[in-house]
Structure 1
Amino acid sequence: MMKIILAGANGTMGKHVATLIDASNEHEIVAGIDQKENLYHTFPYYQHIEEFKGEADCIIDFSHYTVVPSLVAYALAHTLPIVVCTTGLSDETEASILEASKRIPVFKSGNMSLGINLLLALVKTSAKMLEDQFDIEIIEKHHHRKIDAPSGTAKMIANGINSALENPKRLVYGREGNHSKRQDDEMTIHAIRGGTIVGEHEVIFAGLDEVIEIKHTASSRTVFAKGAITAADYIFGKPHGLYDMDHLIYNL
């Protein structure tokens, strides 16, 4: 049975992960890491990961971007694989994750849904075929409590599209004013925040007299929790390296 440290255990995503693991015979949460008081689960809680002195097999992170450096440091010190699901990370933290992957297996994705990553594969193929004839716009929608904008997933999609283009686009965030005519070299990301929207991402390819729309809607956060647990299973026992959803999807 895989022993998991769950960071952000009292958060919305942490609760979804814990609920799935409670129903599993293959995983066990040995420690929850969260600044909030434990109100939901029976496993032991710690405010800081360094306080946990037990044994574990993997860390799943759905915490706050300020907590991630300490999780990565703990994973390095204890040679543990880590699944990083938190978005909005600083450049410094991103660099530390890359450095850590030289010594331990690190799984990192801006979105843990298998569906959204299949969307990414589709839009990369589409962008490569339509580059010279279609404008590309990205629209992402989330609940009103989400703190980062645009979403990590939207950035992941934009970066994926640019990786497929011969001439990568300049990213623009929103559009306003009287001198905002669309330029040929831009790709715009629009962020919408409202209500309890779980997550919606749409890529629009707008050409002459035709429009292609590729869209993914998450109706429950359970899809992200399942993806994180699947990622933990995937990297357990793997050599050091930086893994993402492409590795998982193409090895299902």
Structure 2
Amino acid sequence: MVKIILSGCNGKMGKVISGLVSNFPDLSIVAGVDKNTGESTYPVFSNISDCTVDADVILDFSRPDAADSLIKYAKEKGIGVILCTTGYTDEQLLKINEASKEIPMFRSANMSIGVNVINNVLKNISALLYKNFDIEVIEKHHNQKVDSPSGTALLLANTIKNSVPEETIFVHGREGIAKRNHKEIGIHAIRGGSIVGDHEVIFAGQGEVIEISHYAISREVFAMGALKACEFMYGKEKGMYSMDDVVKL
């Protein structure tokens, strides 16, 4: 049985994960961390440093500023951390990478299996299509999402950029006189209503358009991916892991 400490347990994603964990017979949430320590089926602590429950992994769906305390606790206990949050600063990313030299660390911009399959497809086709196609990335999210563009849009855009041998640049939206240059990879963010998360990659050529799309119907898709990541991370050695590793299984 993989014992999980769920950080952000009383947030929207945390509640979805708590509701779905019973679908995984080898997983159990043994404790939670949240500023809101409301009622739960497991003990909830306002700070992970106060947690006295033994666990195998920490699963985080909270805020980027929680990373430092989670990593500190994980190092003390010798357990892995699964970071499902986006919007980290460069300094935080450096600390996360440094921590992977001591403990198993897992970070992905999107926990959906489908998005990560698409990301792997982009690795294989972007260089082939780039010469004859303009490339645009469009992401849509609910009106309360904090970071823009989304971590997933940046994941997809960076995969394309790293797959193309020619120099490319990111252009975030367009305004006024903005004739397109071929070396641009456009990234566009839309915020509205309760959109869970939509991502489209458009390859626009002469006389034809290729569109690769992923639409998250509910938050369950991210929760299922996160719980699969917990299964994957059980007993792992120190190092950096991602959903790419889960998809390969």
TM-score (norm 2): 0.97
User: Paired residue for 1:14?
Assistant: 14
Aligned equivalents of 1:144, 1:91: Cα separation in 2: 25
Corresponding residue SS for 2:64: coil
| One-letter amino acid of the structure 1 residue matched with residue 182 of structure 2 | D
User: Paired residue for 2:92?
Assistant: 93
Corresponding residue SS for 2:65: coil
Deviation at 1:186, TM superposition (A): 1.1
User: Paired residue for 1:199?
Assistant: 197
Aligned equivalents of 2:3, 2:156: Cα separation in 1: 32
Corresponding residue SS for 1:98: helix
| One-letter amino acid of the structure 1 residue matched with residue 12 of structure 2 | T
Deviation at 1:23, TM superposition (A): 4.7
Deviation at 1:24, TM superposition (A): 4.0
Aligned equivalents of 1:29, 1:58: Cα separation in 2: 10
Report if aligned partners of 1:123, 1:214 keep a CA contact under 8 Å in 2: no
User: Paired residue for 2:108?
Assistant: 109
| One-letter amino acid of the structure 1 residue matched with residue 47 of structure 2 | H
Deviation at 1:149, TM superposition (A): 0.5
Corresponding residue SS for 1:68: helix
Report if aligned partners of 2:37, 2:45 keep a CA contact under 8 Å in 1: no
User: Paired residue for 1:230?
Assistant: 228
Report if aligned partners of 1:117, 1:246 keep a CA contact under 8 Å in 2: yes
Report if aligned partners of 2:198, 2:214 keep a CA contact under 8 Å in 1: yes
1:129/1:143 CA distance change after superposition, 3 Å: same
Q: Percent identity?
A: 47
User: Paired residue for 1:186?
Assistant: 184
Deviation at 1:151, TM superposition (A): 0.3
Deviation at 1:188, TM superposition (A): 1.0
| One-letter amino acid of the structure 2 residue matched with residue 59 of structure 1 | I
User: Paired residue for 1:29?
Assistant: 29
Matched, 1:175 2:174: yes
5+ unaligned residues in a row in structure 2: which ranges?
none
| One-letter amino acid of the structure 2 residue matched with residue 199 of structure 1 | G
| One-letter amino acid of the structure 2 residue matched with residue 6 of structure 1 | L
Deviation at 1:174, TM superposition (A): 1.1
Bigger mean CA deviation after superposition, 18-27 or 29-38: 18-27
Deviation at 1:184, TM superposition (A): 1.8
Report if aligned partners of 2:142, 2:191 keep a CA contact under 8 Å in 1: yes
Aligned equivalents of 1:65, 1:131: Cα separation in 2: 34
Aligned equivalents of 2:111, 2:157: Cα separation in 1: 17
CA RMSD of aligned residues (A): 1.2
Aligned equivalents of 2:228, 2:132: Cα separation in 1: 38
User: Paired residue for 2:59?
Assistant: 60
Deviation at 1:126, TM superposition (A): 2.0
Aligned equivalents of 2:237, 2:147: Cα separation in 1: 32
Deviation at 1:153, TM superposition (A): 0.3
1:113-141 deviation line (CA, Å, top 9, x unaligned): 00001111122222111111111000000
Corresponding residue SS for 1:31: strand
TM-score (norm 1): 0.95
User: Paired residue for 1:38?
Assistant: 38
Report if aligned partners of 2:80, 2:103 keep a CA contact under 8 Å in 1: yes
Aligned equivalents of 2:168, 2:175: Cα separation in 1: 19
Aligned equivalents of 2:112, 2:66: Cα separation in 1: 22
User: Paired residue for 1:80?
Assistant: 79
Bigger mean CA deviation after superposition, 150-159 or 23-32: 23-32
Aligned equivalents of 2:109, 2:93: Cα separation in 1: 12
Aligned equivalents of 2:64, 2:77: Cα separation in 1: 21
Alignment size in residue pairs:
249
| One-letter amino acid of the structure 1 residue matched with residue 113 of structure 2 | L
| One-letter amino acid of the structure 1 residue matched with residue 190 of structure 2 | I
Corresponding residue SS for 1:149: coil
